[in-house]
Structure 1
């Protein structure tokens, strides 16, 4: 355990949860991304850096489009606007959504993600938080199994 993590653990044990969010969001291996009402990235953790290849400095302030393949952008923005207006996704919140994504190098990868609205003042939606997981190997294995099944 590093000194930074030991300090966080001590604070959590004493009831000070200020370091908990930092520990969870920054150190979790999944990507955690927060975007504002306009779809500009406001938070980008180390998991997002690892999965997508953009550093925090490169990603924060950019549009979510940096990770969305061009052919899917219109559908993404339609769903994003709907969430900003209603505070709800059309997908069940307990079911991860599986979609293609794009890395800094332009490679298309498979991800699974869940998304939730971030509440703002007066009950309006201020943005979103999304937790994303790299799933390319899982989808390749599913394709292989389906192909094997068809070949039987």
Structure 2
């Protein structure tokens, strides 16, 4: 891709949410997939804090990590996937997975953080149900083995 138009088209067309926020955490880019995922239009999101999509109970932890990343210029989530809760405009909980990229100024300071986000809510629910079923089966097996040995 060689033109900004192609990059803009990619950002609009991609199925994962792309959210860019400045060093203070204000949203500067919100693609159509982010609109679909979180329920906020681009106009509602641009210029707002990331608190828009962060559950209240997670905000302190988020901002501590965010500030550490901005200050240090280092993140391990460029290659590792981070899985966290998020919140939709209507208030329902989401389970999201994302990686981040850091954008720097010419002075090599962090200017913005890019998050490429996928909604994994259904996978999270399925995994929780499987773990619950496994615990139930292990308990049943243990009870059967205990009965057989007595």
The answer to whether 1:78 aligns with 2:64 is yes
Partner of 1:106: 91
Q: 1:51-88: per-residue Cα shift (whole Å, max 9, x none)?
A: 00000000000000000000000000000101111111
Partner of 2:102: 117
Gaps of 5+ in 2: 138-150
Q: CA separation of 1:57/1:136 partners in 2, compared to 1, >3 Å: closer, same or farther?
A: same
Partner of 2:3: 17
Gaps of 5+ in 1: 1-11
The answer to whether 1:132 aligns with 2:93 is no
Rounded Cα–Cα distance in structure 1 between residues aligned with 2:128 and 2:6: 39
Larger Rg: 2
What is the CA distance between 1:37 and its match in structure 2?
0.9
Q: Which runs of 4+ in 1 moved over 4 A?
A: none
What is the CA distance between 1:116 and its match in structure 2?
1.4
Q: Contact conserved, 2:104 with 2:112, CA < 8 A, in 1?
A: yes
What is the CA distance between 1:24 and its match in structure 2?
1.6
TM-score (norm 2): 0.87
TM-score (norm 1): 0.86
Partner of 2:38: 52
Rounded Cα–Cα distance in structure 1 between residues aligned with 2:79 and 2:24: 25
What is the CA distance between 1:17 and its match in structure 2?
2.7
Q: How many residues align?
A: 137
What is the CA distance between 1:127 and its match in structure 2?
1.3
Partner of 1:142: 127
